[in-house]
């Protein structure tokens, strides 16, 4: 015990000095881990380093080989970086973690290139399941089919006679149910559309099986909740996947309390391999207020105290809320989310959450949806005064020109997903027109206005891979290959800007910029070793960079194989 205390005191006393002095006094304790012969991008606006020392969970020295050598002892683990690039661990600012883990074991529909392939994959999944077992997830995308029409229950009824189906569209704002699932959910032609949702119907008024936004909840109510064991398996699967991609922190949006229970269980067992920040559904704000839980409540591994709200739907489902009609669907301006009816209730949620220091994170995609949330955030400031509350708008996709400056004035963080830009860019302009599309995923415009950005993926809506997201932010080359110079290339970021937004920017978004996000003495030793240098490769190949090793708190949680 005495030795542990002395080691800790020595670390605290040395602090930043350890990174600058070439030699250390005999009182310097031995590091637990030293990485040498690397090219370390600290993300801290300093020159690259070649070595780094870790004691316990924290970095104690970053610099050249000579500066770090004094930290090497007989029991120090030495890692030879082989001249490869080391960067801070990625922090995904917006995921649905348990759902992502579940999707890894579910039917895979996103890359189905036709309606026929979509049906075939569902049939194959049904053949693997027992009668009565639900077919879920999927992440289908009809825009990739030769005829981009929404699927129907009639397409899949014949191949799923014994299994209810509720497969999600990849954006999470629509699902397809088969007839058996509709029957279990008691949905008929006489079922009214709920506020904030649409039951898609055929010409005769019968449900087609597609449920948009709040209408999805009608089907969700019939799906058995996953057991604790299933939740844990999903989260463990997600943790392993995250580690393989260099993701050392995730911010889980609208996670249910049951998932938090699994995180807490894994935390007690020392089994977490990524740090978790949870934004609970907005209707839990009062419960958290009663418990005195504000933002960043917890420890470096698991924290809660944010709340997640919804303003609208998605562009792909034509439920994002706009000031003007969809260009290709006159009369449709999207939907306000069900929780926005009435809007006074949402204002009450926001005010209650803010007065108890809970961070507000709100999904808003259409320009009117975003503007409406900025109005509500303005009301909160007017009621409670200015403070470091770090409002967030999740996605912030299509911003009205008048609202860019409001992001800056209100200190609103734009929590954005670059991969969505190169996906939506395949079809967005016919849907909303060139002018609105020009303000879509406006990374550069927001940065130029002094707005904080935080990057993530919205996994499983998009792949969890940070290098794909970095590629998207730097090149803006759409997935169909039709924009080789970038879709609205004026919004591109540099590699350094994209990586900083994915590390330090995401840490700021969860009030943790003093703990992680850069590789500096005193900060958590969360870092990644890459097989190639993102600063040296052709940006077109950024998406091909792989992770060779991932460390969280100085502990290696993933080991890859060099090519």
> What average pLDDT does this structure show over 60-71?
96
Task: Give the end-to-end CA distance of the chain in Å, rounded to a whole number.
Answer: 44
Query: For position 10, what pLDDT does the model report?
Result: 34
pLDDT of residue 104: 94
Domain of residue 136, residue span: 99-220
Query: Given this model, what pLDDT does residue 26 score?
Result: 52
Give the span between the Cα atoms of 395 and 365, in whole angstroms.
Answer: 6
- Please state the rounded mean pLDDT for residues 127-136: 95
The DSSP H or E segment spanning 460 is: none
Residue 177 domain-assigned (yes or no): yes
Is the per-residue pLDDT at 406 higher than 70? yes
In angstroms, the CA 219 to CA 187 distance is: 8
Helix H or strand E segment including 235: helix 228-244
Buried b (16+ CB within 10 A) or exposed e, 310-330: bbbbbbbbbbbbbeeebbeee
What CATH code is carried by the domain that includes residue 169? 3.10.310.70
Mean pLDDT on 17-23: 35
The whole-number average pLDDT for the span 81-87 is: 98
Q: Is residue 152 part of a domain?
A: yes
Report the pLDDT value the prediction gives residue 5, as an integer from 0 to 100.
30
Per-residue pLDDT at 12 exceeds 70: no
Range with the lowest mean pLDDT among 154-163, 231-240, 337-346, 516-525? 337-346
Q: What is the distance between the alpha carbons of residues 204 and 206, in angstroms, rounded to a whole number?
A: 6
**Phi and psi torsions of 380, nearest 5°:** -60, -45
pLDDT in the model for residue 296? 87
Length of the chain: 563
Question: Percentage of residues in the chain with pLDDT exceeding 90?
Answer: 92
Residue 114 lies in a domain: yes
Pairing of the two strands 392-395 and 359-364: parallel
- State percent of the chain over pLDDT 70: 95
- The pLDDT of residue 249 is 98
Looking at residue 472, its pLDDT comes to 98
What's the number of domains the chain is made of? 1
Residue 166 resides in a domain: yes
Answer whether residue 435 is part of any domain: no
* Claim: this prediction has a pTM higher than 0.85: yes
pLDDT confidence of 15, banded at 50, 70, 90?
A: very low
* Averaged confidence pLDDT in the chain: 94
Q: How confident is the model over 138-182, as pLDDT tens digits?
A: 999 999 999 999 999 999 999 999 999 999 998 889 999 999 999
Is the distance from CB of 304 to CB of 315 less than 8 angstroms?
no
Give the model's pLDDT for residue 27. 63
C-alpha–C-alpha distance, residues 56 and 37, integer Å:
21
The answer to whether residue 106 sits within a structural domain is yes
**Position 176 in a domain:** yes
- Given a cut of 60, whether residue 9 has pLDDT beyond it is no
* Contact yes or no for 22/65 (Cβ under 8 A): no
- Residue 547 counted as domain residue: no
**pLDDT, tens digit, 9 for 90 and up, residues 301-317:** 999 999 999 999 999 99
Give the pLDDT band (50/70/90) at residue 563: confident
507-557: pLDDT as tens digits: 999 999 999 999 999 999 999 999 999 999 999 999 999 999 999 999 999
Residue 16 has pLDDT above 50, yes or no: no
């Amino acid at each position: 015990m005495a030795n542990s205390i002395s080691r800790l005191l020595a670390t605290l006393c040395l602090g930043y000095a350890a990174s600058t002095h070439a030699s250390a006094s005999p009182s310097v304790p031995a590091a637990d881990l030293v990485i040498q012969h690397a090219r370390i991008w600290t993300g801290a606006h300093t020159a690259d380093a070649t070595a780094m020392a870790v004691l316990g969970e924290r970095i104690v020295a970053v610099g050249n080989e000579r500066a770090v050598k004094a930290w090497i002892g007989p029991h120090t683990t030495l890692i030879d970086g082989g001249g490869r690039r080391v960067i801070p661990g990625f922090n995904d600012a917006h995921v649905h973690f348990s759902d992502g883990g579940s999707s890894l074991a579910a039917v895979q529909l996103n890359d189905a290139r036709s309606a026929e392939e979509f049906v075939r994959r569902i049939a194959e999944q049904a053949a693997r399941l027992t009668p009565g077992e639900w077919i879920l997830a999927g992440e289908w995308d009809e825009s990739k089919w030769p005829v981009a029409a929404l699927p129907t229950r009639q397409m899949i009824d014949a191949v799923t006679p014994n299994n209810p189906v509720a497969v999600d569209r990849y954006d999470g704002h629509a699902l397809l149910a088969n007839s058996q699932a509709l029957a279990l959910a008691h949905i008929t032609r006489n079922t009214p559309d709920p506020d904030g949702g649409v039951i898609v119907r055929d010409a005769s008024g019968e449900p087609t099986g597609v449920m948009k936004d709040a209408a999805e909840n009608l089907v969700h109510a019939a799906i058995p909740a996953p057991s604790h064991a299933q939740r844990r398996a999903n989260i463990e699967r997600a943790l392993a996947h995250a580690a393989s991609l260099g993701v050392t922190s995730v911010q889980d949006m609208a996670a249910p309390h049951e998932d938090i229970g699994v995180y807490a269980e894994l935390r007690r067992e020392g089994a977490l391999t990524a740090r978790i920040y949870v934004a609970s559904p907005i209707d839990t704000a009062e419960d958290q207020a009663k418990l005195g839980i504000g933002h960043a409540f917890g420890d470096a591994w698991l924290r809660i105290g944010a709340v997640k709200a919804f303003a609208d739907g998605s562009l792909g489902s034509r439920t994002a809320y706009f000031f003007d009609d969809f260009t290709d669907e006159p009369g449709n301006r999207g939907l306000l989310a069900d929780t926005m009816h009435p809007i006074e209730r949402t204002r009450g949620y926001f005010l209650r959450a803010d007065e108890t220091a809970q961070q507000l994170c709100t999904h808003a995609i259409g320009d009117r949806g975003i503007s409406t949330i900025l109005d509500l955030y303005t009301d909160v400031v007017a009621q409670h005064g200015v403070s470091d509350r770090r409002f967030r708008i999740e996605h912030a996709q299509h911003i009205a020109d008048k609202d860019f400056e409001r992001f800056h004035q209100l200190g609103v963080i734009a929590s954005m997903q670059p991969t969505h830009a190169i996906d939506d860019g395949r079809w967005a302009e016919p849907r909303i027109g060139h002018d609105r599309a020009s303000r879509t995923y406006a990374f550069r415009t927001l940065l130029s206005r002094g707005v904080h950005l935080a990057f993530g993926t919205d996994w499983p809506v998009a792949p969890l891979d940070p290098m794909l997201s970095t590629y998207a932010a730097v090149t803006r080359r759409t997935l169909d290959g039709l924009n080789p110079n970038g879709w609205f290339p004026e919004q591109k970021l540099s590699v350094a800007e994209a990586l900083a937004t994915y590390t330090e920017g995401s840490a700021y978004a969860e009030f943790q910029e003093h703990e992680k996000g850069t590789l500096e003495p005193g900060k958590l030793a969360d870092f990644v070793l890459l097989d190639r240098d993102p600063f040296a490769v052709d940006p077109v190949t950024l998406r091909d960079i792989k992770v060779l090793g991932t460390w969280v708190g100085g502990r290696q949680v993933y080991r890859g194989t060099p090519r």
